[in-house]
Amino acid sequence: MAAVRIDGKAHADELCARLAKEVAELAAKGVVPAIAVILVGEDPASQVYVRNKVRRAAELGIRSLEHRLPVSVSQEALLELVDRLNRDAEVHGILVQLPLPEHVDPQAVIDAIRPEKDVDGFTVQNAGRLAVGQPALVPCTPLGCLMLLKAHLGSLEGLEAVVVGRSNIVGKPMAQLLLRENCTVTIAHSKTRDLPRVCRRGDILVAAVGRPRFIRGDWIKPGATVIDVGINRISEGGGSRLVGDVDEASAARVAGAITPVPGGVGPMTIACLMYNTVAAARAQSGL
């Protein structure tokens, strides 16, 4: 039987509708949630991501302040901007779009963000809080994946979860979140021996490797829930299209449910950024 398609766009729209109401309630009390977005250079993919984030914020009534800086900007100037935004009481969230140019240390810039304003959840402080089970702002992509999994499966307790990929942005926080839900978690990566066998352990399989159509149907446990985090642009038939890290055609014949690309995890990432921004505004205003 073909796998159920988990509609990330529909889940994201539902979450955003709830958030829009919360934003209106906060605004009525004099607090307009605001996010500052820092974009350095001209990377086309980053420009698209930032445009989508700003558009979603506007739909919800969240104020966004874009800071576009040339690729030649110094680390010192970036740190000064972050410092200014940290001290601005009307800014609740600060997001530095990655990647940054090579002459800038991304973790140094990210860790300059006050943890309460770190709506990407990338600071060492928030990563540490998540790891030790303290309240934290959680990275948006894994948070969105978790929301989709819980919406589809209900309780995740006791399930075998395999996360393929160990990045600080997705793989590691995803594993922490699944552990918090009482899954038995395996983190697999490029050096894992017999990756297909390890993947087949997963009742839940999260693919975050950044390689187009890398994970195929015969790597998947029958009936498993597959979350495809990949967004890879490939050339095909004279044009180009977006595909995930999972080979959707073969996976859909084996999995119980799967997120499509596009229209799966991507919309949830942006919705969760809005979720974190509203949470940050609430926390900072005491509402």
The residues annotated as belonging to the active site are 53, 97, 120
The site for ligand GUN (CB under 6 A) is made up of: 95-98, 120, 140-141, 169
User: Shortest distance, CB of residue 46 to ligand GUN, whole angstroms?
Assistant: 7
Q: Could you tell me which residues come within 8 angstroms of residue 235 by beta carbon, excluding any fewer than 6 positions away? A: none
Smaller CB distance to ligand GUN: residue 140 or 258? 140
Q: Could you tell me the smallest distance in angstroms from the CB atom of residue 37 to ligand GUN?
A: 8
Residue 32: count of CB within 10 angstroms of its CB: 14
Q: Considering only CA atoms, which of 179, 169, 176 is closest in space to residue 265?
A: 169
β-pair type (257-258, 239-243): unpaired
C-beta of 199 vs 231, nearer to ligand GUN = 231
Closest residue to ligand GUN using C-beta atoms: 98
**Which 3 state secondary structure label does DSSP give 185?**
strand
Which CB, 27 or 79, lies closer to ligand GUN? Answer: 79
**Cβ-count burial of 52 within 10 angstroms (0-12 exposed, 13-18 middle, 19+ buried)?**
middle
Residue 141 beta carbon to ligand GUN: minimum distance, rounded to whole angstroms: 6
| Angle, helix 171-180 to helix 140-153, in steps of 10 degrees | 40
User: Shortest distance, CB of residue 134 to ligand GUN, whole angstroms?
Assistant: 22
Counting Cβ atoms within 10 Å, is residue 20 exposed (0-12), middle (13-18) or buried (19+)? middle
- Minimum Å gap between C-beta 110 and ligand GUN is 8
Say if residue 262 is preceded by a cis peptide, omega within 30 of 0. Answer: yes
Cα dihedral 108→173→259→98 (10° resolution): 0
Quick one: 123 or 225, whose CB is closer to ligand GUN?
123
Q: Could you tell me where the DSSP H helices lie in 200-264?
A: 248-251
Residue closer to ligand GUN, measured from CB, 141 or 186: 141
